[in-house]
Amino acid sequence: MIIQIRKKNGREPSLELRTLVSGNADEVFDVIDKNREYLRKWLPWVDDTYSPYHTLGTIERWKKALDEKSDFEFGIFHGGIYIGNIGLCDIDKNNNSAMIGYWLAKNHQGKGIMTDCVRALTNFGFRELELNRIYITCAFGNTKSRAIPERLGYVQEGILQDGTCLYGVYHDKVIYGVVKRNWKGIE
């Protein structure tokens, strides 16, 4: 599955979300490994990603979840190069809701890439999956991550005190949400 976000033109490379396959394991691991210190600040799984073989297992779990329509995990490709991940996960079919999670290699941040990806995945969730509510959680201190849902019109719904523990340190967690009837980001 591919979600085309920006088509390639003379000035800017294409941007797309693609479901990952086993052949992507090495490049996914390579990007994680090169960004390990940067990603580790806000992501709890970084230390557990220690080899391409481990990444292959993760991709296989994502494929199974996609087949079951319980999670939709995508690689982010910019100009055909893998640069991060985004996914609709924790899909609650009874309440038609899901959470978006994301990360991006450090050298690709600050270019609007993740904002475009979150907008596209929110549209996908509302249109294709017929979700009613989509939410994003971020550590309170992760201002770059928090700026994305704020920029897109997600509403801050609350703060969970010590809602996430990263490498033995507790952080408050901010929850942002949007419901379909209030979503203004439709392309």
Does 105 or 40 have the greater pLDDT score? 105
pLDDT at residue 50, as a whole number: 78
pLDDT at residue 9, as a whole number: 56
Q: How far is CA 62 from the centre of its chain?
A: 13
The span from the CA of 137 to the CA of 124, in Å, is 19
For the chain, the domain total comes to 1
Residue 6 lies inside a defined structural domain of this protein: yes
Radius of gyration for the alpha carbons in the chain, expressed in angstroms and rounded: 16
Q: What is the CATH number of the domain that holds 68?
A: 3.40.630.30
Residue 91 lies inside a defined structural domain of this protein: yes
Does 159 or 187 have the greater pLDDT score? 159
Sequential DSSP letters for 2-60? EEEEE---SSS--EEEE---GGGHHHHHHHHHHTHHHHHTT-TTGGG--SHHHHHHHHH
pLDDT at residue 30, as a whole number: 87
Lowest mean pLDDT among 40-44, 85-89, 107-111: 40-44
Residue 81 lies inside a defined structural domain of this protein: yes
Residue 99 lies inside a defined structural domain of this protein: yes
Domain that holds residue 23: 2-131
What's the pLDDT band for 117 if we cut at 50, 70, 90?
very high
Q: What is the DSSP letter of 26?
A: H
The mean pLDDT value for 55-62 works out to: 80
- Give the 3-state secondary structure of residue 86: strand
At residue 10, does pLDDT exceed 70?
A: no
At residue 150, does pLDDT exceed 60?
A: yes
Residue 21 lies inside a defined structural domain of this protein: yes
Residue 41 lies inside a defined structural domain of this protein: yes
pLDDT at residue 62, as a whole number: 80
Does 57 or 88 have the greater pLDDT score? 88
Q: What is the DSSP letter of 154?
A: P
Mean pLDDT of the chain: 88
**Residue 102: beta bridge partners?**
86
Residue 7 lies inside a defined structural domain of this protein: yes
pLDDT at residue 120, as a whole number: 94
Residue 49 lies inside a defined structural domain of this protein: yes
